[in-house]
Amino acid sequence: MKRRITLLVAIVFVFSAFAKAQSTQTCNCVEELSFVNEQIKEMTSFKKQMKGDKLSEYTTTLNQLEQEVTSQMSVTDCFSKLNELLSVVKDKHAHIRHMKPVITSEIMEQGDELERFRESELFKNHPKSNISVEKLIEKLSEKSFENIEGIYKKKDGITIGIVKTGSTYEGIVLTSDNKIWAPGQIAYKIIPNGENMYDVLTSDIIGGKLRFVRGLLHFNGSLWHLKKEASNYISQMSVNQSPWDFKQLTPDIQYVYMGSFSNSSNNVKAFKKFYEEAKDKFTAKNIIVDLRDNSGGNSKYSDPFYKIFKKNKMNVYVITNFWCASNGEQFTLKLKGLKNAKHLGQRTYGALAYGSNYGKLIETPSGQFAIYPTDMNFHKYLNYEYVGIIPDIKLSFDEDWVTQTLEIIKNIN
């Protein structure tokens, strides 16, 4: 409970800094909190978890937040309070979205709007580091590759320095070829939440859409889309990789990549075509099942392959990375349950105990936010929520993961 209170205090501190940078736009957070509370209470995860001490913790948090919110509260502060309440429930699928930012990146593309934006009080008053950029670069250049502190690259010609400030971290713009952000401005607030895990608050643009992402893993010199100079993409698939792929690597080893179990029309069409072409090809002694970057979807696109591998008594080598989530993780556990299965790679995302049948967003009374609730029950996987599935064999970030897996298969056989 003490750690829980500490985390909430950190969240309050982090959001208050961002609130100063946002518009004076307000909302009735009393109504917002009441509405979000009612939606949370309908979630399967709430009904399964909030019993005994956990229900008392939730009620205590709600009562305290009810004392803190006002009918004229800044949008950013209200966003903070709503996330505090939702965070009591251990459910990584459920989240709150900021729907009506003051500024959008699209606005910046219109005529002279970018220059007007840079001259605005909103831009000029955005929180800045009290340490000079030059000193930050000097300090962070000395940090080890494994340390979360350090210098990271972000797309659009921006570098970010992550530096510890008290019990949390700040992501500060060090250099920028993009006029939307200026050196010295604080672009990220990063809150420790587990072993090498962090909750991240940012906005896509100053005064823009707020984002709060929970349980991100720092690994291989990367955090979410931030990457250190020596970081590589070995653990991730190429953006050009087809979501369904089959290869005969050797007479005894076959490979299948399954990049998505999504219900999207394009993926369903691709699945049907692939399944018909590949279902009778799984005849080798060993099969490598690559689930990297598979964010999940519907089990009806994964279960048919499980049945094939089980029936053919293949030696299964399943590869995952951190971005394997939801049904991708559930499929991993099913495969691990086979007699001749090994799990390789990296721990998974940790979002598999619940889910949303319809992917609905429920807008709050102000229209500023929307909650994405969950209604699917996979509570039996609760022990994996947030922490993910740990592989039997961890793969190195120094060499191609399929190459490493082939060597492992060779040594086992």
Residue 408: CATH number of its domain: 3.90.226.10
CA–CA gap between residue 313 and residue 334 (Å, rounded): 14
194 contacts 181 by C-beta, under 8 angstroms? no
End residue of a domain, out of 168, 199, 228: 228
Q: What tokens does 105 get?
A: 């990146």
Residues 255 and 196 in one domain: no
Q: Is the pLDDT of residue 16 over 60?
A: no
Residues 115 and 14 in one domain: yes
Which residue, among 163, 164, 156, has the nearest Cα to 181 in the 3D structure? 156
CA–CA gap between residue 260 and residue 325 (Å, rounded): 10
CA–CA gap between residue 50 and residue 47 (Å, rounded): 6
Number of domains in the chain: 2
Helix (H, G, I), strand (E, B) or coil at 330: helix
Q: Is the pLDDT of residue 366 over 70?
A: yes
Give strand ranges (E) for 85-157. Answer: 95-98, 150-154
Per-residue confidence (pLDDT) for residue 102, from 0 to 100:
87
- pLDDT tens track for 125-167: 999 999 999 999 999 999 999 999 999 999 889 999 999 999 9
Q: Poorest-confidence range of 53-62, 203-212, 297-306?
A: 203-212
- DSSP type of residue 257: E
Q: Is 372 part of a structural domain of the chain?
A: no
32 contacts 366 by C-beta, under 8 angstroms? yes
Radius of gyration of the chain (CA): 23
End residue of a domain, out of 199, 228, 257: 228
One-letter amino acid at 220 equals N
Residues 337 and 267 in one domain: yes
Q: Is 118 part of a structural domain of the chain?
A: yes
101 contacts 208 by C-beta, under 8 angstroms? yes
Q: Is 142 part of a structural domain of the chain?
A: yes
CA–CA gap between residue 381 and residue 274 (Å, rounded): 29
Which residue, among 301, 328, 318, has the nearest Cα to 388 in the 3D structure? 328
Q: What is the domain extent for residue 330?
A: 244-345+381-412
Q: Which residue has the higher pLDDT, 192 or 358?
A: 192
Q: pTM score > 0.75 for this model?
A: yes
Q: Is 357 part of a structural domain of the chain?
A: no
- Mean pLDDT computed over 12-39: 74
pLDDT tier at 204 (50, 70, 90 boundaries)?
Answer: confident
Which residue, among 374, 375, 373, 364, has the nearest Cα to 98 in the 3D structure? 364
Q: Is the dihedral of CA 246, 250, 251, 254 positive or negative?
A: negative
Q: Is 239 part of a structural domain of the chain?
A: no
Q: Poorest-confidence range of 33-37, 193-197, 270-274, 354-358?
A: 354-358
pLDDT tier at 402 (50, 70, 90 boundaries)?
Answer: very high
Residues 123 and 47 in one domain: yes
pLDDT tier at 22 (50, 70, 90 boundaries)?
Answer: very low
CA–CA gap between residue 94 and residue 375 (Å, rounded): 10
Residues 91 and 207 in one domain: yes
Residues 10 and 50 in one domain: yes
Which residue, among 221, 136, 218, 143, has the nearest Cα to 183 in the 3D structure? 136
